[in-house]
Structure 1
């Protein structure tokens, strides 16, 4: 059934105007760069946020990288052949079919997109209206260009989102303590990277009770 859906989507992709195909080819890779730019924007924006929110902004790309590693490990365990080789009578993919051994399940691109969309939303309220559609379009584009089954990209989105939430939840406390230490550090680069907080580090420190072991 998934092969039939894959064939339906790629048949429609093959019939679309060439400019639509070129946009899909571009988006399937360029979307990753846009997520990277949003990571930088979130970090810069939260340099004036409290330590916890700033910590999540810094953790967002790390969580995405961890999700990618999980995706790669799962790929190696499942060993699903790419549909551009496995599905009979399907149109030629719009991009080069990855070589044998670069397995299909789950989609790395969809995993990265799902993790990035969720992690950014955890640190930047309201941005999910942008990152959510971006992630969905990136996932769909991987089927549209012919290199993944629909179930590959659905699994990737779910995997990325779950790993991002779990990683951020586990790591935020320690990362926030590091952020507070950097804001009070005597090292200029550390203070610049962490920013001053919502009203300067001294104000934040007064609001934050001292941690005692």
Structure 2
């Protein structure tokens, strides 16, 4: 409720009083997280709007194809892991240990990325640049952009698979690049969200994949037990 003060005029005593409305200052009630929310548009917002402009000009069928890949393409990495497991049944136990660890490595990378998201709290580009064309529905406030979860999952899976099986690893890497690019195309992320996520995924996955090879003696023992048919006989 504004407060009204009546001030008499100094130069003209007979003049009507001057009414001054004093609005009380309301303290900021927003949480520190909201105050520290980061605006990433200054880094590569121009490139983001250029890419989404290309998406706006692209054929509708192509945009829908990219949208579908962006939303569900992560399932391809699960299929590649299954393929890697099948191939590893005839490989040595080091390879099998790394293949079996790849889903766990993917989860660890996702968790690390979630921590980074909560620390940076970068506002989604579709919220910061509301006039931009987007294919995917804009995520709600609080669903932070940096780094990209989809991209970090894709690249961590690709790196883990590459360490275990080079042939499938290169296929997974190509799929990861397409996943990262699709996240910008649909309007969900800035390019730097994707690039940093790719780096995070690889940096988390490679050392964990290397360590997973130390579980080879355990795989050797399991191959002689009830899980032998699941793990395969290994290399002759």
> What is the TM-score with the length of structure 2 in the denominator?
0.79
Report the RMSD for the aligned CA atoms in angstroms. Answer: 1.2
Tell me, what secondary structure is at the counterpart of 1:40?
A: helix
Q: How many residues align?
A: 194
1:192 matched to 2:234? The reply is no
Q: Aligned to 2:167, which of 126, 130, 135? A: 126
CA shift, 1:34, in A, is 0.7
CA distance in 2 between counterparts of 1:104 and 1:151 reads 10
CA distance in 1 between counterparts of 2:189 and 2:228 reads 44
Kindly report structure 1 stretches of 4+ aligned residues shifted beyond 3 Å: none
Written as runs of structure 1 = structure 2, the 5 A alignment for 1:5-154 is 5-91=47-133, 93-154=134-195
Tell me, what secondary structure is at the counterpart of 1:132?
A: helix
Between structure 1 and structure 2, the one with the greater Rg is 2
Contact 2:77 2:157 in 1 (8 A): yes
CA shift, 1:127, in A, is 2.7
CA shift, 1:95, in A, is 1.1
Deviation track 1:27-82 (CA, whole Å, cap 9, x = no partner) reads 10221111100001101110111010111111111111111111111101110010
Deviation track 1:100-123 (CA, whole Å, cap 9, x = no partner) reads 111000000110111111111111
CA distance in 2 between counterparts of 1:38 and 1:60 reads 10
The answer for unaligned runs of 5 or more in structure 2 is 1-42
> What is the TM-score with the length of structure 1 in the denominator?
0.87
The answer for unaligned runs of 5 or more in structure 1 is 200-213
More helix by share: 1
More strand by share: 2
CA shift, 1:88, in A, is 4.6
CA distance in 1 between counterparts of 2:174 and 2:83 reads 18
